[in-house]
Amino acid sequence: MSEKISPGMQQYLDIKKDYPDAFLLFRMGDFYELFYEDAVNAAQILELTLTSRNKNSENPIAMAGVPHHAVGEYIDKLINLGYKVAVADQMEDPKKAVGIVKRAVTQVITPGTATDVGSSVDNNFLVAIDKQGEKAENQFGLAYMDLSTGEFKVTELTDFSTVVGEIASLKAREVVVGFELTEQQSKILSKQMNLLISEQQNFPEHLQIKLSALTELENQVSSKLLAYVKRTQMRDLSHLQEVEHYEIKDYLQMDFATKSSLELTVNKREGKKHGTLYWLLDATKTAMGTRMLRSWIERPLISENAIFNRMEIVQILLDNFFERSDLIEALKGVYDLERLASRVSFGKAVPVDFLQLANSLSNVPAIRNILESLNDKNLSVLTKKLDDIPELSALINSAISDSAARTITEGGIIRTGYDEQLDRYREALQNGASWIAKLEADEKARTGISTLRIDYNRKDGYYFHITQSQLASVPEHFYRKATLKNSERFGSKELAEIEEIMLEAREKSSLLEYDLFMEVRAETEQYISRLQSLAKAVAEIDCLQSLSTVAEKYGYIRPTLTENSRVVNIKEGRHAVVEAVMGAQEYVPNDIDLPEQTNIQLITGPNMSGKSTYMRQFALTVIMAQIGSFVPAQQAELPIFDAIFTRIGASDNLISGESTFMVEMSEANRAIQHATKRSLIIFDELGRGTATYDGMALAQAIIEYVHDNIGAKTLFATHYHELTDLEVELSALSNVHVATLEKNGDVTFLHKITSGPADKSYGIHVAKIAGLPDKLLERADLILQKLENKPVLAKKSEVHEEQLSLFDFDENFSEIIEQLKTKNVDNMTAREALNFLWELKDLL
């Protein structure tokens, strides 16, 4: 016979079955409880004490709990580890409940829907993907949303690898899937990308988005994302912006591998911001500006007009130091308007949020006045967007007290003079306080008890406090309320009358304040879209002043960008991030010169000499220029690129079983398949992941293919010195190398790029710097001398009039062959072998 389940546990099980993939936090009194498997897992993850319900039964129920006042920190920990949490609250006062207390889930918190992101200013994007029908294998819809700011965007993508790249760029932690994933797709999303996968196959009719500006697939994926958010949040979402279409081709295209290898927003070593382009350019003063700057770096522009407009404003702010300084001070007073608006929408806004809102709005006129004082038409578009919403400022300033606390139930929120009834209650409380003080003085005089005082607590209300030694002097009109160890508490009819007036005023004033605050919060909701528009304008101004501030700090110059020309001419260019870390005095600048007719630069030179830095420097300069930033150089003329493709550094993908070489070839293939004449390709040591001749053959074939079929501007660093001979055959290829200074057997890397090929690799010298034993290095030098009979570079196939004979030797060849037959090469010393080699060379 099965054990009987209590009504409370049955209620838990009924709710839990609707949320099988989430930890269910079940409110019981002052605790949120977890049961069964949830309790076992949560106890381990959150380091909770695991107990059991019905301990004496055959099947005790595992149980663990957390205090209700500290539940937030436990939820945060679960969310950060990639779990979902369903919060079931008590829907009625337990004292008034008939039978079991009604409970229901009030919110499902997931990694992609978490809005209380603490001190982080970064976006938390939730992504949804979908496709149209089973046959549409190559057409995906992707929508993303940040619940904490209301941002909502959608696009169509042509293949799953692009979908994966976009999700990675958005740094999403959760993906809502509207179709059945293949096993491979599921593995990529869950295992390789560590994403929480949530399903939303359908959506209710009333949540269907039908915007004419969107395609059918974009409307579909947006509707599924909205349905998922509504289903999990169960609250007003008035701060969500209308879904906006975007195209990745409208921006400089870079896949995730490119962004990662160039360390645009996170460094490869720790996954942190330090040492990235984002870290370098971030002199923003507002949270909205910081988020927008990151999105600018992730998505540089390709429109010449849009880039020009940004650069014009950066130049204006650079030229007006004092106005820029005042602008920075004004921006410092602006809080996170986007997240404040979302807190209002979610019903989470507390009094201090409104004070921050009012303070932010009060700084807007100063920002507008500074920009207007510069009297430039390029700034007029921005100044028009600076709406300081005077009606909202007036409402908050008249309603919310400057000393308001975070709580909304304890009073002290509403400013005196805002509501007449509240003022009357406060007057009663104030008078009551003076009545209490007068009664205390009168009773002291009447009784002669000098230590008598009137106190208050929740249990006993107002009372006379009299110590044990003074009890004999207690008057008859006092009555006992409580006895303590060394004192007693008394009441009186007069004190009770005053208490009744004061408690009524206190209770009613608190309730009235709460109601008035909720009215202010509701009225503020109508300004949410204006607040979001203002936030965007302030963020843009903040980003532009940031670029200007950084340009001044590091001495950057304004580049010249052209859509029609393909000339690259950078004088004294620097790697912006390396220079910032090392210091300008230590950094060796380099020119980058790719005339109209030169597409490929083949770079040779030793390891550690600066080839990779030189190539990354070029890519970062392009990205900086196309976000509207000034660049680290003495002079810079650049075309506008449509995409950047890179293959830099060794890496493998262990989860998918791909070797370093497979990853290398995949990334090279992406460039070859998608690059255009307007793209930038950067290949570093391509082909080194396989056998030498294989690698060299592939490298040569790739260079020839890019040269003949794509025509993209390309930097190709290689250790295969044989490839430098390609300059003779390929008209659009030029050789450059990293200069070295060799003296008395010691080599100094000059980190300077000069024309022509390198004469040798100096690999053994690098090994010497690394501290390898001398004996080993001597042996390596000997082996090198043997191996340096270089393989012949494969020439492009040519059409010959007649077949050449393979056996037409002159007499010198016959003598060489004879000598090779008779010499005992196995027993030669190293010196004898070297001498013999020279003899053969002389014969040739």
Nearest to 60 by CA among 5, 111, 141, 126: 5
Q: How far from each other are the two terminal CA atoms of the chain, in whole angstroms?
A: 101
Any known ligand binding at 612? yes
- Tell me the three state secondary structure of residue 213: coil
Give CA–CA dist 539/533, Å, rounded: 10
CB proximity list for 25: less than 8 A, separation 6 or greater:
32, 33, 34, 66, 71, 75, 85, 86, 87, 88
CB proximity list for 821: less than 8 A, separation 6 or greater:
none
Give CA–CA dist 558/577, Å, rounded: 18
Any known ligand binding at 119? no
Any known ligand binding at 606? yes
- The torsion of the CA quartet 390, 395, 401, 406, rounded to 10 degrees, works out to -100
Give CA–CA dist 21/38, Å, rounded: 10
Any known ligand binding at 752? no
Give CA–CA dist 825/40, Å, rounded: 74
Q: What are phi and psi of 683, to 5 degrees?
A: -115, 125
In 10 A of CB 591, how many CB atoms?
Answer: 16
Angle at 369 between CA 368 and CA 371, to 5 degrees: 65
Q: What are phi and psi of 701, to 5 degrees?
A: -65, -40
Give CA–CA dist 535/124, Å, rounded: 17
- The torsion of the CA quartet 280, 285, 290, 296, rounded to 10 degrees, works out to -70
Tokens of 732: 């659009």
Site of tokens 């060379």: 841
Nearest to 533 by CA among 395, 366, 394, 384: 384
Give CA–CA dist 42/71, Å, rounded: 13
Greatest CA separation found in the chain? 142
Any known ligand binding at 17? no
Nearest to 668 by CA among 686, 689, 695: 686
Q: Are 625 and 582 in contact (CB under 8 A)?
A: no
In 10 A of CB 631, how many CB atoms?
Answer: 24
The full 3-state SS of 453-494, as one line of letters, equals EEEEECCCEEEEEEEHHHHHHCCCCCEEEEECCCEEEEECHH
CB proximity list for 546: less than 8 A, separation 6 or greater:
281, 282, 283, 284, 285, 289, 293
In 10 A of CB 539, how many CB atoms?
Answer: 24
Q: Are 224 and 203 in contact (CB under 8 A)?
A: yes
Q: Are 109 and 85 in contact (CB under 8 A)?
A: yes
Site of tokens 């607040």: 531
Nearest to 643 by CA among 310, 384, 341, 257: 257
Any known ligand binding at 609? yes
DSSP H or E stretch at residue 433 = helix 420-447
Long-range contact set of residues 163-166: C-beta below 8 Å, sequence gap at least 24: 163/129, 164/188, 164/189, 164/193, 164/256, 165/255, 165/256, 166/127, 166/142, 166/248
What's the helix, strand, coil split of the chain in %, to 5? 45, 20, 35
Give CA–CA dist 361/375, Å, rounded: 23
Angle at 234 between CA 232 and CA 239, to 5 degrees: 100
Any known ligand binding at 607? yes
Q: Which amino acid is at 745?
A: G
Q: Are 559 and 630 in contact (CB under 8 A)?
A: yes
Q: Which residues are annotated as a binding site for ATP?
A: 605-612
Q: Which residues are annotated as a binding site?
A: 605-612
